[in-house]
Amino acid sequence: MKTLRGMDEFVGTGALIRLILRRDRVVLPTWIVLPALLALSIEASFAHLYHTPTLLQAFANEVASNPAEVALLGPVYAPTLAGITAWRWSMLTVVLIALANLFTVTRHTRTEEESGRRELLGSTMVGRYAALTAVLIVTGVADLLSGLLVAGGLIGIGFSFAGSCALGLSVAAIGWTFAALAGVTAQMTESAGVANGIGGALLGLFYLLRVVGDMGAYSGLSWLSPVGWMRFVRPFAAERWWIFALFIGLVIVFCVCAYMLAARRDLGAGLLPPQLGPATASPSLRSPFALAWRLQRGMLFAWVTAFAVMGIAFGYVAKTVADQLSANPQMLNLFAHMGPNVGPGYGFFTLALEIFGEVAAAYAILATLRLRSEEVSGRAEPLLANAVSRSGWAISHLMFAAFGPAFVLTVFGLTAGLTYGMSQGTMGTTLLRVLIATLAYLPAVWVLAGTTMLLFGLLPRVASFLSWVVLMVCLLLDLGGELQQVSQAVLNLSPFPHVPKLLVSQASALPLVALAVIAVAFTLVGLVGFRQRAIG
Amino acid sequence: MFFFMTSAISVSGLIKSFGRTRALDGLNLLVRTGEVHGFLGPNGAGKTTTIRILLGLLRADAGSAQLLGGDPWRQATQLHRRLAYVPGDVTLWPNLSGGEIIDLLGRLRGGLDPRRRAELLERFELDPKKKARTYSKGNRQKVALIAALASNVELLILDEPTSGLDPLMEAMFQQCIAQERKDGRTVLLSSHILAEVEALCDRVSIIRSGRTVESGTLAQLRHLTRTSILADLAQPPSEIASLPGVHDVQIDGTRLRCQVDTAELNEVLRHLAALGVQSLISQPPTLEELFLRHYQANPRASSEPMEVSR
């Protein structure tokens, strides 16, 4: 009797799986094949650049002696083509596959509840656990497929069977971990945005634990992080299969938590009881901008906090990096070629800033896309049917796309400059130089925000999707440039390569001005388009 | 010229297509200043599309629309200062309280009357402290209604404003609209609740498939419909079916049942009187019949829209 009632809670899972497959029929296959495509293209470029074992060994030595690379991507375990491909591919894929799983699970659980669609489904023959189970099955199978494609592709080009399988399985394991994690965060809050935020913050934390762990001083920290475990599998370098037991254990723990929470709570509710608000609006809530501030401030604070933590950590790590590099005359020589007075610490920061500049662009896109989500949900309509002009409303949110990243990058520059400057004993100049170099990324970030506004104004239906595609293309161009797979002309399509690396080279204002002008032009065209088109 | 100055909304020949679907197909609508105008039609007839064009959220493909003497697309922002709108499907910001949203919408319109706000909160029994995510459909509707009614505006555009309200609140809403009319405000009321339309509206427009099929006062519309007749006569009414305006004839000996166009009623009664009427029951058309007739697919609707107000 008890089992029968238990099974009832899963009724409808099959139907919901088909619904998920129908709704995600484009996105799901995209992220399933992406890790395999990345792996093959990385393999191809390394095979082209380092075509003898000697060259590969030299490259591996170079990475091992460069703590900046070790910090960002982890150590190279095997100086072979397979080992180096696995090294370059893993950390990139972790972020991709973890976010894909987080967003997919949240989209089919908490977003459905928040929008009220789950209520309609819940009244039909759909059990309490069906939605969670359906999305966990879909993501679980998708992750496995993704891993199989990676393994199959690498075996196909002649990599070792065991290593390819270990690498493929590691991406599946990361996917399962973050899908199960999202299953838990989706139960905890009433808002899908907050659920994704918590998941994203944990991904950042896990990545940071691995960075600090791989820097050597506290190597135990990597063991606290699934991102660290992925490297510890050591594909192509005496694979350690038992690591997968850790992943499976963690996935089981997360799943048990998710189902326990799902069993106890009411539909639509989170863990915290809803709070009462004020009966009257504060006198300041009287403009579209005041409303935009209310709607965007949570996200802004979250990003500022995340960047402050990252800044402190990277500033701190930079000192260790610099010390290790200083003991390596070959690397010092390399940095000397980059420009006059290039310290090893600055070289490290230059690499880190490229990444954080692109992450800040993701925030700018999110802040701009708030316009679209307000429009789609119907909340823009009562405002625009009020004495609020379309431009006024759009600009109220664009302020956050413009000044939000400025704030976030300033905080990163200040915290990173502060911890690095303190450890160097050259507080004043270091702080200032790191801050200015960070802010140099602002115009490039604005170009992405401008592109998003352009799409919102002219192609509203696909604006959200295309905005993320544009950022993705920029990231891939960046990788292609690093691996010398893409010509400089193509590379120049992305705004990021134009940003002057102020810590290691001469300042030049022209590219910054040009990027800012492009960003403003895109935004203006987007605004004009938005004023002309239908709402909704 | 005088004619236009006294119309709050005047729309003629409005056309709007979404892809291959023609949502509005030459729609006409005239709302006079100071009247409560019922805007009726089956689901998908184009009511909300018309309202969204009037609010400048959509641009019409062809035809003309005048709102408070201005162009609803080009002068949207200035015109919106003088009107308040309640959407049919109210979505609110989940993390703002009801009170905050009422204040915000009112202030964006140029301020709202705090005494009226307090009075309406009490009458509609809405707790303004609750976060919008916890409100039911009816309570979300109340937030939008209170924000609109507490504003000092000339024109109210209400798109099925009572669809989530309970009967008590519905009665409260009717009182409020009656008061608005007394204060000289113009109301465009899209509604499916016939009792509400009958109680509140001075004139109504019925649209179907993007066209206006009827427009006028309820009395005038009634005039266009049929009266049902049940009569016992002295002799069988054999020729009755050939008279103009007589429909659905059933003859059972000397007993006659039929439907008569109200315009032809006098002629038909004269004919019956000649046959010798022994008993007669006549029923005027109910509002339901009136609307059902217009809502259902009807060949007459495909002919020219009828304007009976003049």
* Closest-approach residue (CA) in chain A for B98: A279
CA distance B22 to B16: 6
Q: How confident is the model at residue B241 (pLDDT cuts 50, 70, 90)?
A: confident
Determine the distance in angstroms separating the CA of A375 from the nearest CA of chain B, rounded to an integer: 11
Cα–Cα distance between B146 and B297 in angstroms, integer?
A: 37
Tell me which of A280, A396, A530 to substitute to probe the interface with B (most B C-beta atoms closer than 10 Å).
A280
pLDDT value at position A1? 39
> Which residue does chain B place closest to A288, by CA atoms?
B108
Q: Decide if B128 and A280 are in contact by the 8 Å CB cutoff.
A: yes
Quick one: residue B45, left, alpha or beta (phi over 0 = left, psi -120 to 50 = alpha)?
alpha
The answer to whether residues B87 and B211 belong to one domain is: yes
Beta-carbon contacts of residue A172 (< 8 Å; ≥ 6 apart): A143, A144, A146, A147, A148
Structure tokens at A424: 């160097």
List chain B residues with CB under 8 Å of A384: 55-57, 76
- What mean pLDDT comes out for the span B295-310? 47
Q: Which residues pair with B86 in a beta bridge?
A: B158
Q: What angle do CA A392, A395, A396 make, to 5 degrees?
A: 85
- Condensed to tens digits (0 to 9), the pLDDT of residues A187-212 reads 888 788 888 888 998 998 999 888 88
Cβ of B133 within 8 Å of Cβ of A382? The answer is no
Q: Which of A114, A274, A382 has its CB closest to that of B131? A: A274
Q: Are the beta carbons of A278 and B99 separated by less than 8 Å?
A: yes
- Asked if A536 and B52 come within 8 Å (Cβ–Cβ), the reply is yes
User: CB distance A386–B100 less than 8 Å?
Assistant: no
CB contact under 8 A, A377 and B91: yes
Residues of B in contact with A194 (CB under 8 A): none
Contact of A197 with chain B, judged by CB distance below 8 Å, is answered with no
With CA atoms as reference, the chain A residue closest to B56 would be A385
Same domain, B180 and B216: yes
Contact: B92, A379; criterion CB under 8 Å: yes
- B101 burial (CB, 10 Å; 0-12 / 13-18 / 19+) is buried
Confidence class of residue B310 from pLDDT cuts 50, 70 and 90? very low
Do the chains contact at A276 and B107, CB–CB below 8 Å? Answer: no
Total residue count of chain A as it appears in this document: 536
Among A495, A292, A524, A298, smallest CA distance to A399 is for A292
**B275 plus B191 within the same structural domain:** no
Q: Which residue has the tokens 């010509």?
A: A487
Query: For residue A225, what are its two tokens?
Result: 């992080």
pLDDT at A363 (0 to 100): 94
Note the pLDDT of residue A354. Answer: 86
CA distance A96 to A378: 31
User: Using DSSP, how many helices (H) and how many strands (E) does chain B show?
Assistant: 11, 13
Question: Which residue is listed with tokens 């005039």?
Answer: B223
Chain-wide mean pLDDT for chain B? Answer: 86
DSSP A375-433: HHTT-HHHHHTTT--HHHHHHHHHHHHHHHHHHHHHHHHHHHHHHHHHHHT-HHHHHHH
- Using 50, 70 and 90 to split pLDDT, how confident is the model at B296? confident
Q: How confident is the model at residue B194 (pLDDT cuts 50, 70, 90)?
A: confident
- Is residue B249 included in any domain, yes or no? yes
What's the confidence (pLDDT) of residue A116? Answer: 75
Q: Residue A313 pLDDT more than 70? A: yes
If one counts every other C-beta atom within 10 angstroms of the C-beta of residue B296, the result is 10
Residues B195, B236: one domain?
no
Is A281 in contact with B100 (Cβ distance < 8 A)?
yes
Is the minimum CB–CB distance between A531 and chain B shorter than 8 Å?
no
Would you place residue B299 in the very low, low, confident or very high pLDDT band (cuts 50, 70, 90)?
Answer: very low
Residues B277 and B244 in one domain: yes
Structural domain tally of chain B? Answer: 2
Q: Which of A235, A249, A393, A366 is nearest to A298 (CA)?
A: A366
- What is the H or E stretch that residue B151 is in? none
The residues near A314 (Cβ < 8 Å, ≥ 6 apart) are A349, A352, A416, A420
Q: Pick from B227, B221, B291: which is nearest to B259 by CA?
A: B227
Residues of A in contact with B59 (CB under 8 A): 532, 534
Which of B37, B4, B32 is CA-nearest to residue B207? Answer: B37
Q: How far apart are CA B13 and CA B26, in angstroms?
A: 4
A388 touches chain B (CB under 8 A): yes
Least confident residue range of A124-133, A287-296, A340-349, A500-509:
A340-349
| Chain A residue at shortest CA distance from B75 | A389
Q: Which residue of A has its CA nearest to B134?
A: A274
B123 and B264 inside one domain = no
Inter-chain residue contact B108 with A383, CB threshold 8 Å? yes
The Cβ of residue B252 has, within 10 Å, a number of other Cβ atoms equal to: 9
- A23 near A134, Cβ under 8 Å? no
Beta-carbon count within 10 A of A209 CB:
21
- Average pLDDT estimate for A3-18: 77
The tens digit of pLDDT for each residue in A411-465 reads: 999 999 888 888 777 777 888 888 999 999 999 999 999 999 999 999 999 999 9
Interacting residues of A98 by C-beta distance below 8 A, sequence separation 6+: A174, A175, A177, A178, A203
CB contact under 8 A, B81 and A191: no
B257, HSE (Cβ side, Cα atoms, 13 Å): 3
Report the CATH number at residue B159.
3.40.50.300
CA-based nearest residue in chain B for residue A273: B134
**Test the B interface: residue of A194, A293, A386 with most B CBs within 10 Å:** A386
Task: Quote the tokens at residue A301.
Answer: 């604070």
The domains of chain A are located at: 16-268
- Specify the pLDDT at position A328: 66
CA distance A293 to A125: 42
Under a CB-based contact definition with an 8 Å cutoff, are residues A39 and A51 in contact?
Answer: no
Q: Which amino acid is at A523?
A: T
A8 in contact with B at a CB cutoff of 8 Å? no
| Whether residue B143 sits in one domain with residue B74 | yes
Q: How far is CA B71 from CA A337, B56, B85, B185, in A?
A: 66, 9, 17, 20
| C-alpha span between A292 and A400 (Å, rounded) | 8
Tokens of B137: 């459909």
Which structure tokens are listed for B235?
A: 């002799």
- Gap from B282 CA to chain A (nearest CA, Å): 47
Cα–Cα distance, B242 to B285 (Å, whole number) = 22
Residue B211 and residue B160 share a domain: yes
Name the residue facing B96 among A279, A294, A381 (closest C-beta).
A294
What digits encode the pLDDT tens for the residues A206-246?
A: 998 888 888 766 778 889 999 999 989 999 988 999 999 99
Where residue B304 falls among pLDDT bands split at 50, 70, 90? Answer: very low
- CB contact under 8 Å between A535 and B58, yes or no, is yes
pLDDT recorded at residue A492:
87
**Closest CA–CA distance from residue B202 to any residue of chain A (Å):** 25
Instruction: Say which of A277, A386, A535 has its CB closest to residue B129.
Output: A277
DSSP assignment, residue A530? H
> What separation, in Å, do the N-terminal and C-terminal C-alpha atoms of chain A show?
50
With CA atoms as reference, report the closest residue to A165 among A235, A232, A80: A235
Residue B198 lies in a domain: yes
Say which range, A355-369, A442-456, B269-283, has the weakest mean pLDDT: B269-283
Q: How many Å apart are CA A218 and CA A68, to the nearest integer?
A: 16
- In this prediction, residue A330 carries a pLDDT of 65
- Residue contact A274–B134, C-beta within 8 A: yes
Domain hosting residue B52, numbered range: 2-221
Q: What number of C-beta contacts closer than 8 Å exist between A and B?
A: 115
Residues A246/A251/A254/A256 CA torsion (nearest 10 deg): -110
- Domain membership of residue B293 (yes or no) is no
Domain C-terminal end among B202, B221, B240: B221
**Residue B68: inside a domain:** yes
The reply to whether B291 falls in a domain is no
Task: Give the residue from chain B lying closest to A392, CA to CA.
Answer: B77
Gap between the Cα atoms of A32 and B252, Å rounded? 76
Q: In sequence order, what are the beta bridge partners of B9? A: B31, B67
Q: Is residue B48 situated within a structural domain? A: yes
Extract the runs of DSSP E, i.e. beta strands, from chain B: 7-18, 21-32, 36-40, 62-67, 83-86, 155-159, 186-190, 203-208, 211-216, 226-233, 246-252, 255-261, 277-283
- By the 8 A CB rule, do B112 and B103 touch? yes
Those residues whose C-beta lies under 8 Å from the C-beta of residue B288, and which sit 6 or more positions away, are B194
Q: Are residues A282 and B99 in contact, defined by beta-carbon separation less than 8 angstroms?
A: no
Angle at A112 between CA A107 and CA A118, to 5 degrees: 150
Cα nearest neighbour of A290 on chain B? B104
Residue B297 lies in a domain: no
Average pLDDT score over chain A? 88
Are B99 and A281 inside 8 Å of each other by CB? yes
Query: Confidence band (pLDDT; 50, 70, 90) for B308?
Result: very low
Comparing B212 with A330, the larger pLDDT belongs to B212
| pLDDT at residue number A31 | 92
Write out chain A residues lying below 8 Å of B99, CB-based.
277-281
Residues B71 and B172 in one domain: yes
Q: Which of B56, B92, B99 sits opposite A279 (nearest CB)?
A: B99
Assign B154 to helix, strand or coil.
Answer: coil
Indicate whether B200 belongs to any domain. yes
Q: First CA to last CA across chain B, in angstroms?
A: 17
Q: Does A439 touch chain B (CB under 8 A)?
A: no
Partner residue opposite A386 with nearest CB, options B59, B91, B109: B109
| A180 has a pLDDT exceeding 70 | yes
* Helix and strand counts by DSSP (H, E) for chain A: 23, 0
User: How many angstroms separate the CA atoms of A441 and A517, rounded?
Assistant: 14
Cα(B89)–Cα(B161) distance, integer angstroms = 9
Least confident of A222-226, A421-425, B48-52, B142-146: A421-425
Half-sphere exposure of A392 (CA within 13 A, CB side): 15
CB contact under 8 A, A387 and B103: no
The tokens for A97 are: 């596959």
Q: How far apart are CA A450 and CA A268, in angstroms?
A: 35
Report, as an integer, the average pLDDT of A115-135. 81
Closest CA–CA distance from residue A362 to any residue of chain B (Å)? 23
Q: Which residue of A has its CA nearest to B100?
A: A281
**Which DSSP helix (H) or strand (E) runs through B298?**
none
Tell whether B155 and B256 lie within a shared domain.
no
Quick one: B306 exposed, middle or buried, by C-beta within 10 A (0-12, 13-18, 19+)? middle
* Closest-CA distance of chain A to residue B81, Å: 5
Considering the domain architecture, whether residues B120 and B203 belong to the same structural domain is answered as: yes
Considering only CB atoms, A278 lies closest to which of B87, B93, B100, namely B100
Q: Is the pLDDT of residue B22 over 70?
A: yes
A448-451 CB contacts, 8 Å cutoff, 24+ apart: A448/A361, A448/A364, A448/A365, A448/A474, A448/A495, A449/A361, A449/A364, A449/A365, A449/A367, A449/A368, A449/A398, A449/A401, A449/A402, A449/A405, A449/A519, A449/A523, A450/A518, A450/A519, A450/A520, A450/A521, A450/A522, A450/A523, A450/A526, A451/A522
| Mean pLDDT along residues B246-273 | 87
Q: Specify the higher pLDDT residue, A217 or A311.
A: A311
B230 and B210 inside one domain: no
Q: Which of B122-131, B183-192, B263-272 has the lowest mean pLDDT?
A: B263-272
Element (H, E) at B164: none
Across the interface, do B94 and A385 touch by the CB < 8 Å criterion? no
Average pLDDT (A64-75) is 80
